[in-house]
Amino acid sequence: MILDEIAAKTRERIEKRKQEIAPETIKAQAEKIAEKEKKQGGFTFPFEQALKKNGISFICEVKKASPSKGVIAEDFPYLAIAKEYEAAGASALSVLTEPYYFMGNDTYLKEIANQVQIPVLRKDFTVDEYMIYEAKVLGASAVLLICAILSDEELKRYAKIAQELGLSALVEAHTEEEVQRALNSKARIIGVNNRDLKTFTVDIHTSERLRRQVPQDIVYVSESGIKTPEDIRRLRENGTDAVLIGETFMRSEDKKTALRWLAGEVE
């Protein structure tokens, strides 16, 4: 199963990284940044704040390739893409850092976070707390926690580490049971992936159906397979706070017009 395969490959990648930068070192670096933020007035959790604004928020994804679609963007000027998203009115960005299946890179995240004002989610398969410290050091405002690859204990522990570093956690679920597990982990932001990461089938109805399970004070995100203004209209009417969109934007030449079209502002 692809998800387990990616998770296993990620564990290998992180074990190698630990040889380059020791866990104590990355942890100390992350904590130092967090301490500084605390002294300068405390954590603001910009990712969560950005999604709580009025109206449906757009999280735009910087993604070169995916296991289900192969290479999506041959030409991949990631910094220009990120800046275009920001200028188009994105509330937040999602940057893939997984190298083997998504052709992502930590450097993309680092450079982008450095050059945009809006908060950035590190989109990766978090399977080790090391990756949360890394995310902080790279300049992310949020990390992804996928219920399907984490135990209850890990979900809680990782959410706590993120919180203590001033990072938001987007807790991803795909089934009713996973939404329940996300709620039990005290998630403040829950994303329902319309794509089944085990079979790659996409069905927007998944995030519509699971909406009622999540209390109003938790930020609710619909992820994947969003393609038309009609999709957005339905999700908005269903009480969705934010949408996470990759492919549709990556394939559009003019991201500003694409965003306005999806938002129903232009024909």
Active-site residue list: 61, 63, 123, 172, 193, 223-224
By C-beta, is 123 or 136 nearer to ligand IGP?
123
Question: Strand, coil or helix: what is 60?
Answer: strand
Interacting span for ligand IGP (CB under 6 A) from 15-23, 83-91, 180-188, 241-249: 241-249
By C-beta, is 141 or 222 nearer to ligand IGP?
222
Whether 192 and 171 have beta carbons less than 8 Å apart is answered as no
> Read out DSSP for 128-139?
SHHHHHHHHHHT
Measured N-to-C along each axis, helices 229-237 and 255-262 cross at an angle, to the nearest 10 degrees, of: 50
Q: Which of 118, 149, 150, 244 binds ligand IGP (CB under 6 A)?
A: 244
**Residues 225, 34: Cα–Cα separation, whole Å:** 35
Q: Which residues contact 149 (CB under 8 A, 6 or more apart)?
A: 3, 4, 7, 125, 127
Cα angle 48, 104, 194; round to 5: 55
By C-beta, is 32 or 198 nearer to ligand IGP?
198
200-229 residues near ligand IGP, rule: CB under 6 A: 223-226
73-102 residues near ligand IGP, rule: CB under 6 A: none
By C-beta, is 61 or 86 nearer to ligand IGP?
61
Question: Strand, coil or helix: what is 122?
Answer: strand
173 touches ligand IGP by CB under 6 A: no
Instruction: Look at residues 10, 26, 7 and name the one whose alpha carbon lies nearest to residue 165.
Output: 26
246 touches ligand IGP by CB under 6 A: yes
Partners of 60 in the beta sheet?
93, 245
Q: Which residue has the tokens 């850092």?
A: 97
| Least gap, CB of 36 to ligand IGP (angstroms) | 30
104 touches ligand IGP by CB under 6 A: no
| Least gap, CB of 248 to ligand IGP (angstroms) | 6
Q: Which residues contact 3 (CB under 8 A, 6 or more apart)?
A: 146, 148, 149, 197, 198
Fill in the DSSP letter of residue 195: B
109-138 residues near ligand IGP, rule: CB under 6 A: 123
Question: Strand, coil or helix: what is 8?
Answer: helix
By C-beta, is 210 or 244 nearer to ligand IGP?
244
Q: Which of 61, 86, 178, 241 binds ligand IGP (CB under 6 A)?
A: 61
Q: Which of 126, 168, 193, 240 binds ligand IGP (CB under 6 A)?
A: 193
Instruction: Give the count of residues interacting with ligand IGP (CB under 6 A).
Output: 14
Give the interface with ligand IGP as residue ranges (CB under 6 A): 61, 63, 123, 172, 193, 223-226, 244-248
